[in-house]
Amino acid sequence: MPNWVSRLLGGQINTPAEKKDFAGHSVLSLSQLGAPNWSHRGFASLVNQGFARNPVVYRCVRLIAEAANRVPLTVVDHGRRVDEHPLAALLGRPNGRQSGGEMLEAVYAYLQTAGNAYLQAGLVEGEVKALFCLRPDRMKVVAGADGWPIAYDYSAGGQTQRLRQDGGALPGVLHMALFHPLDDHYGMGPLEAAQTSLDIHNAAGEWNKALLDNAARPSGALVYSMGGGNLTAEQFERLKIELEQGFAGAANAGRPMVLEGGLDWKTIALSPRDMDFIEAKHAAARDIALAFGVPPMLLGIPGDNTYANMAEANRALWRQTLIPLVRRVADDLSNWLSPAFGGAVIVPDFDAVEALAEDRAALWERVSNAGFLSDAEKRAMLGI
C-alpha cells in the first residue's frame, strides 16, 4: 500500500517553534454514526433483499409454501366428498404449464412475500377451463366510483391488459390479500413487516464479510503527537478526506494502514467481539421468523427454547400458521369458483397431514368416548 501519510505530510513535520495560524487537531475519528440505510418497501426491492439474498427469509417462504401445499384440497358436492368432478380436475391441472401443486405453491409464496396473490380464470363459452397465477407486482387495482375494484390492469412486456370483474357471474380475477390496516385494496405480507430485521441481518452479514476480507481489524482514531505539534489546516483536511475515502464504511472495514511521522493508531470503536455481531444476527433472524410465524427452532436458529422439541415446534407451525393460511385460501377459492360448478365447495383435508396425526388421534378418542352423541353426530364432527 502506498505511504499516503508520508506523501500527505510532504516529509515535513511542524514543530512548536514554527508560526501557525491554525490551532489544529490531534485526533481523527473514524467512528462517526450516520443515518441508517433501509431497503425500499417495494415488492421487487424486498424480494431482492429478502428472498433472493437472505437465507432466513428464503427458508421461511419455502417452508410455509411447501408445507401448506401438502394439504390436499378436496371437492364436496351436495354434502358428499367426490373425487371425480370437474372442479377437482381443474384444481389438479389448472393450466397447460402448471400442476395444481405448483400453482398453489406460488399462491402461498406470493402471500408471504407480497401479501397479495392473484388467480385469473380462463373462460371458454362461460365455463372455467383454466386457472393462471399472476405476479402481484404486475397487477394494479382499478377502483370504481364507489371505491370497490371493478377491474385489474395487468402489465407485462410493455403492454397493459385490463381484466374486468363485472363481465359475468364469475369475476375474472380472484384477489387474495392478507390484512393491511392502512390499505383498502392491497394486503401486507410478512416480508414487509420483517423489513427492519431483514436489513439488520443483511448488514451484519456484509459487515462481517468485510472484516474477514480485511483481516478483521476494527476502526478507531488516528493520533498525531510528533513533538507536541499540530497538523496545519490543509494537512488536516487532506488527511481527513483520505481517511474517509480509503478507510471509512463497511467496504473498507479493517483495511490496514502504514503510519509514520508521529502518527499513532488508537482503537476506540467497539470491536466485533464487543458488538457481538453473531448474536445480533441471531436476534434479527428470530424476528424474521416471528414475522412469518415460523418457530426459530425449525430454522436452526440458536437461542430459542420456546418449544421442548422439534415435534412440538412443528405442531405449533401447523396450528398457528399453516392451518389458518390453507383454510383462508381454500375458502377464497371455494367462494370464487363455487357458482361456476353447481355449488360445489373446496375443503382442505388435514387428515392426510402427518404432523397433525397426533391431534387427529386425540380428537377421534374424545369423540368416540362421547356416549351422549349418536353415530351420525360423531361422523359429522369428524368430517366424515
pLDDT at residue number 354 = 81
Among residues 359, 285, 326, the alpha carbon closest in space to that of 107 is found at 326
Between CA 346 and CA 275 the distance in angstroms is 52
Between CA 114 and CA 106 the distance in angstroms is 11
Answer whether 191's CB lies under 8 Å from 51's CB: yes
Task: For residue 73, count other CB atoms closer than 10 A to its CB.
Answer: 20
Q: What share of the chain is helix, strand, coil (3-state, %, to 5)?
A: 45, 15, 35
pLDDT at residue number 216 = 54
Answer whether 334's CB lies under 8 Å from 79's CB: no
| Phi and psi torsions of 262, nearest 5° | 85, 5
> Could you give the 3-state DSSP secondary structure of residue 364?
helix
> Is 36 contained in some domain?
no
Give the chain's domain count.
1
| Range(s) of the domain holding residue 360 | 356-384
DSSP letter assigned to residue 245: H
Answer whether 232's CB lies under 8 Å from 24's CB: yes
Q: What is the pLDDT along the chain (384 residues), one digit of tens a residue?
A: 444 445 544 544 454 444 444 444 444 434 444 444 445 578 888 999 999 999 999 999 999 999 999 999 999 998 888 989 999 999 999 999 999 999 999 999 999 999 999 999 998 888 899 999 999 999 999 998 888 899 999 999 899 999 988 766 688 899 999 999 999 999 999 999 999 999 989 888 887 777 777 655 555 666 766 555 666 778 777 777 777 776 666 666 666 665 555 666 666 555 656 556 778 888 999 999 999 999 998 998 887 777 778 888 898 999 999 999 999 999 999 999 999 999 999 999 988 788 777 777 777 778 788 877 787 777 777 766
**Strand 263-266 to strand 345-348: parallel, antiparallel, or no bridges (unpaired)?**
unpaired
> Could you give the 3-state DSSP secondary structure of residue 82?
strand
Between CA 363 and CA 368 the distance in angstroms is 8
> Is 39 contained in some domain?
no
> Is 360 contained in some domain?
yes
> Is 361 contained in some domain?
yes
> Is 109 contained in some domain?
no
